[in-house]
Chain A
């Protein structure tokens, strides 16, 4: 028997050979814990990657999770994480929780995302959609079943709808802007938390219409047709880096954020990470497919972060 036990144990132990990592001259030490939205994740990942390349930061361990904006806030407000990635602003319920738990935080916008409304490539009739038409399509109990129901000059083609799942910040934002209240929407559409599924759906379905983040449209330009959006009396505007950045692609441009726990910011490694984030954001944001804020904004938020932190440190 002992022979068998030893064979078993050796088998298990061989699974355990792990190599160790880092060496170098450390000045900063500790952990920076980030969690939250999968929309913001690519930006934070890029920042964490660059942050780790700086020699002085080599002993700082940055970890990034993807629990979703809401799931991330739960951990953030329990004091379990230092920073929360958020694809929507914090909700009133969450603010109340923060006050109750004595968590002080600062909200820092880091980039814009333009929610893109897309249709199938073979859709020849759609030239633009107005905000009112979008509302007509997506409102709860909407009776729109064919394209003709939206505009009478359009063909009697059945319309099939695609959108993100109800847990997503994208869904929150779209419903708030188009239907006037967050989470209020017709429910008979194909939902997926994975935007690639929506891309495939819209690309393979002639009468389809869907919406998702700008980066997913940009990467699939050859498979999809984007719909310019007309707000009020203004001209229809299609989402591009420029129109999202200068705010003319309205109302479907949204800022995305990081929330920093100010108590965590007392730790030098967290403070340094946030500074690094705002300094590098402009370049990295564009690289991973999002739209940077106007130049001076990053400096503004950096100053705000420093002054908020100082205010708290005095108390």
Chain B
């Protein structure tokens, strides 16, 4: 193969990668453009501060927006300690034997399970067996199960990538094992763990199917005041509007999608901010 040919192949490869990237970006922007064009006219403060209505011009996403905020907050509070704990245990303490391997394989499998199955589980266990009814508790516990494997796997990876020298340095200074884990390993791994948490919670925020299963509502004209109250969330409200025959409701659905996107971006930006703060602290 002469030089010219190699150069040509090189160019071909670069362009293939470029086109692939552009395709992804183009599709994303087409979608965004479509949604914004349809939804932007419906967006105003009244839209954020009104309950759903049969009249599109009066309808808003108040109950869905606050429902989503409550649900994601609760899910974070339940799932983060649980998944951090299990990731630390599995990486730092658990012996490497058949049982831990089985647990790890199961975690990987659980992370890929269709979310409707978590909904069925939530309905049977939380809604019926524990008698939590179709409350925020049931919804957030179900979503916690859903995000748990994802966060555990991401956290395990982050913890594993903490250099051995850091641990050894701490031990050399006379630290106990729990001190090493809590003061050295966890802070070093935190940025990676945060990434996992962000991705998992973003996914949870967009979930519809498991929440409909545990009884997320479609019309509700009051805000939840405690975790035992019934609720609805943005994706359920958006789906409901998108399935209506009237065009105006499709506009409302697009408006709801914009709000959901902004909420997701805010959540992610907040997490990125916290992460960068932590990194600065570390160095």
Interface residues, chain A, with chain B CB atoms under 8 Å away: 1, 3-4, 7-8, 11-12, 15-16, 18-22, 35, 38, 41-42, 44-46, 48-49, 52, 61-67, 75, 80, 194-196, 199, 213, 215-216, 218-220, 284, 287-289
A307 to B130, CA, bound (A): 37
A220 surroundings in chain B (CB, below 8 A):
245
B217 within 8 A of A: yes
Interchain CB contact (< 8 A) of A49 among B53, B77, B182, B271: B53
Q: How close is A287's CB to chain B, nearest CB, in angstroms?
A: 7
Interchain CB contact (< 8 A) of B219 among A12, A19, A48: A48
Q: Tell me which of B54, B66, B278 has the highest count of chain A C-beta atoms within 10 A of its own C-beta.
A: B54
For residues 20 through 77 of chain B, which have their beta carbon under 8 Å from a beta carbon of chain A?
51-54, 66, 69-70, 72-73, 76-77
* Nearest residue, chain A, Cβ from B273: A11
Interchain CB contact (< 8 A) of A44 among B72, B190, B219, B224: B219
A41 to B190, CA, bound (A): 46
Interchain CB contact (< 8 A) of B72 among A15, A194, A219: A15
Q: List 7 A-B contacts (CB under 8 A).
A: A1-B182, A7-B274, A20-B223, A44-B219, A49-B54, A67-B215, A219-B246
Q: Are A218 and B245 in contact (CB under 8 A)?
A: yes
A216 to B244, CA, bound (A): 8
Query: A64 with B54: in contact, given A1-B183, A7-B277, A15-B76 (CB under 8 Å)?
Result: no
A35 to B218, CA, bound (A): 9
Q: Are A194 and B243 in contact (CB under 8 A)?
A: yes
B53 surroundings in chain A (CB, below 8 A):
49
Q: Are B274 and A65 in contact (CB under 8 A)?
A: no
Q: How close is B139's CB to chain A, nearest CB, in angstroms?
A: 13
A41 to B212, CA, bound (A): 15
Contact code string B214-233 (vs A, CB < 8 Å = 1, else 0): 01111111111100001000
B240 within 8 A of A: yes
B245 surroundings in chain A (CB, below 8 A):
195-196, 199, 213, 215-216, 218-220, 289
Besides A12-B77, A35-B215, A63-B220, 16 more A-B contacts (Cβ < 8 Å) are: A1-B183, A11-B270, A11-B274, A12-B73, A15-B70, A15-B73, A16-B70, A38-B243, A46-B54, A61-B230, A63-B219, A65-B216, A67-B215, A75-B215, A195-B245, A219-B245
Q: Are A65 and B242 in contact (CB under 8 A)?
A: no
Q: Are B220 and A64 in contact (CB under 8 A)?
A: yes
A4 surroundings in chain B (CB, below 8 A):
187, 190, 278, 281
Number of residues in B with C-beta < 8 Å to the partner?
45
A216 surroundings in chain B (CB, below 8 A):
245
B182 surroundings in chain A (CB, below 8 A):
1
B72 surroundings in chain A (CB, below 8 A):
15
A64 to B278, CA, bound (A): 44
B144 surroundings in chain A (CB, below 8 A):
none
Q: How close is B210's CB to chain A, nearest CB, in angstroms?
A: 13
Q: How close is B50's CB to chain A, nearest CB, in angstroms?
A: 11
A59 to B194, CA, bound (A): 42
Q: Closest 5 A-B residue pairs measured CB to CB?
A: A15-B73, A64-B219, A219-B245, A46-B54, A216-B245
B155 within 8 A of A: no
A289 to B247, CA, bound (A): 13
* Nearest residue, chain A, Cβ from B225: A20
B77 surroundings in chain A (CB, below 8 A):
12
B134 within 8 A of A: yes
A75 surroundings in chain B (CB, below 8 A):
215
* Nearest residue, chain B, Cβ from A65: B217
* Nearest residue, chain A, Cβ from B76: A12
For residues 249 through 283 of chain B, which have their beta carbon under 8 Å from a beta carbon of chain A?
250, 270-271, 274, 277-278, 281
Q: How close is A27's CB to chain B, nearest CB, in angstroms?
A: 17
Q: Are B215 and A65 in contact (CB under 8 A)?
A: yes
Query: A289 with B246: in contact, given A4-B190, A20-B223, A21-B222 (CB under 8 Å)?
Result: yes
Q: How close is B257's CB to chain A, nearest CB, in angstroms?
A: 15
A48 surroundings in chain B (CB, below 8 A):
219, 221
Q: How close is B119's CB to chain A, nearest CB, in angstroms?
A: 11
Query: A65 with B134: in contact, given A11-B270, A15-B72, A49-B54 (CB under 8 Å)?
Result: yes
Q: Tell me which of B51, B215, B230, B247 has the highest count of chain A C-beta atoms within 10 A of its own C-beta.
A: B215
A19 to B274, CA, bound (A): 26
Q: Are B219 and A41 in contact (CB under 8 A)?
A: yes
Q: How close is A231's CB to chain B, nearest CB, in angstroms?
A: 26
A204 to B49, CA, bound (A): 38
Q: Are A45 and B187 in contact (CB under 8 A)?
A: no
A18 to B225, CA, bound (A): 7
Interchain CB contact (< 8 A) of A1 among B187, B217, B270: B187
A18 surroundings in chain B (CB, below 8 A):
66, 69-70, 223-225
A4 to B72, CA, bound (A): 20
